[in-house]
């Protein structure tokens, strides 16, 4: 155990350090937001979150626990700090969540490992039976984001961010230099597409739900949701119509198949299309940081901007629970990206799009907001944290 002064070290779209106290403070901010809302009536009480340490998965865990009093079991693949090397932000987020859950008397169990593996699925099922209320769960959130996956066939597949059909040329933001430039991405091969679908598609969600069903740990009325994104037309060549989009189509295919299974338990499965936010994953996608910087300024001016916790809380409050019904689009998806994709917001963004240059960027975009959200993902820039003081970088996770 050793204390270190932890400073941010940013390389491209990733920060290679994270601050344990800052991550815990960011978790407390989300908890405070949930507590500011009314308790969720008829909400979940025993929840499994697969991909629980960052982004929408973490917010789902927080909303379920502090909005509905749920016991939560979180699954993720993160690393603790060791020696003078800080751990990953997801580890510190989870340590912060456990500490707050313990104070609130809420059950919290976490398992660190490869969520794609059969071994971890067995470990999680054992934990549900031995540690979760009644040995069953009533909500499964699938929120994994990974660049690679070792599938049951023993092959390790890797995802890529590429367009399909033709090369992609578009305006882009170099976030390191704060320069608006152009980006060109070459077309994906058939193998690129197949591998990306294997990693980011719905196969693993199916395997999880079949395993949980086979083990008899799903409550009557259990729901399961996976998160997705569609975005605006300007990002479609790299996202909706690109390799990621092909994977998301497969996620929706899996959702329909899982829904048939869940109906046997009087439950349901669905895909929720969420708003653009700044996450570790989204920061890596070309074009998206520029779009998000414009979007944030417009939505903040309209009073409709939301981060992960506001989105998930709205999903739980307005659609999944409180006596509400899910509102599906024509493709059977729940759309909580509705405020982002409203005609007035999209028109405002794309009226600005041709005007944005390096010189005009500050006038049109909320880059400060983008940077703030980016750094908060790694525990930096939080009020009340002394970033000049040494802190213990090794944090333990104890079941609450």
Asked if residue 274 lies in contact with residue 55, where contact means CB atoms within 8 angstroms, the answer is: no
Give me the torsion for CA of 189, 192, 195, 197, rounded to 10°.
Answer: -90
The residue annotated as part of the active site, out of 56, 239, 291, 370, is 239
Residue 307 CA to residue 289 CA, distance in Å, equals 15
> Has 239 been annotated as catalytic?
yes
3-class DSSP state for residue 225? strand
Q: Label residues 21-42 b or e (16+ Cβ within 10 Å = b).
A: bbbbbbbbebbebbeeeeebee
Query: What does 66-134 look like in DSSP terms, one character per residue?
Result: HHH--EEEEEE-----BTTB---HHHHHHHHHHHHHHHHT--EEEEES-TTSHHHHHHHHHHHHHHSGG
Q: Degrees (nearest 5) of the Cα angle 124, 127, 130?
A: 155
Q: Label residues 207-216 b or e (16+ Cβ within 10 Å = b).
A: bbbeebbebe
Asked if residue 15 lies in contact with residue 371, where contact means CB atoms within 8 angstroms, the answer is: no
Residues 6+ apart with CB under 8 A from 232: 291, 341, 346, 349, 350
Residue 170 CA to residue 174 CA, distance in Å, equals 13
Nearest CA among 55, 36, 22 for reference residue 308: 55
Question: Which residues are known to be catalytic?
Answer: 239
């Amino acid at each position: 155990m050793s204390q270190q002064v932890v400073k941010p070290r940013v390389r491209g779209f990733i920060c290679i350090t994270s601050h344990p106290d800052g991550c815990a403070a960011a978790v407390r901010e989300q908890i405070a937001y949930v507590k500011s809302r009314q308790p969720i009536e008829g909400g979940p009480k025993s929840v499994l979150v697969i991909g629980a340490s960052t982004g929408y998965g973490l917010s789902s865990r927080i909303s379920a626990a502090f909005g509905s009093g749920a016991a939560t079991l979180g699954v993720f693949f993160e690393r603790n700090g060791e020696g003078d090397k800080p751990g990953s932000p997801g580890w510190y987020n989870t340590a912060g969540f456990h500490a707050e859950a313990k104070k609130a008397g809420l059950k919290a169990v976490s398992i660190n490992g490869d969520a794609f593996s059969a071994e971890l699925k067995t470990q999680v099922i054992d934990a549900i039976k031995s540690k979760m209320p009644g040995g069953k769960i009533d909500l499964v959130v699938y929120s994994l984001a990974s660049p690679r996956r070792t599938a049951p066939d023993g092959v390790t597949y890797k995802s890529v961010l590429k367009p399909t059909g033709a090369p992609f040329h578009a305006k882009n933001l170099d976030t390191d230099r704060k320069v608006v430039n152009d980006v060109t991405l070459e077309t994906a091969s058939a193998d690129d597409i197949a591998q990306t679908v294997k990693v980011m598609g719905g196969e693993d969600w199916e395997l999880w739900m079949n395993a949980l069903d086979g083990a008899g740990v799903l409550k009557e009325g259990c729901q399961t949701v996976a998160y997705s994104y569609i975005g605006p037309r300007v990002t479609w060549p790299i996202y909706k119509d690109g390799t990621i989009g092909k994977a998301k189509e497969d996620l929706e295919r899996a959702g329909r198949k899982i829904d048939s299974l869940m109906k046997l338990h009087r439950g349901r499965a669905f895909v929720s299309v969420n708003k653009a936010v700044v996450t570790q994953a989204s920061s890596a996608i070309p074009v998206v940081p520029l779009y998000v910087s414009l979007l944030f300024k417009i939505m903040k001016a309209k009073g409709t901007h939301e981060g992960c916790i506001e989105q998930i809380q709205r999903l739980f409050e307005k659609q999944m629970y409180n006596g509400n019904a899910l509102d599906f689009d024509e493709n059977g998806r729940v759309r909580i990206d509705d405020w982002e994709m409203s005609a007035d917001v999209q028109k405002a963004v794309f009226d600005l799009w041709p005007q944005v240059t390096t010189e005009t960027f500050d006038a049109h975009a909320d880059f400060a907001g983008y940077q703030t959200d980016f750094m908060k993902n790694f525990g930096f820039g939080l009020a009340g944290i002394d970033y000049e003081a040494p802190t213990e970088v090794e944090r333990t996770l104890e079941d609450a």
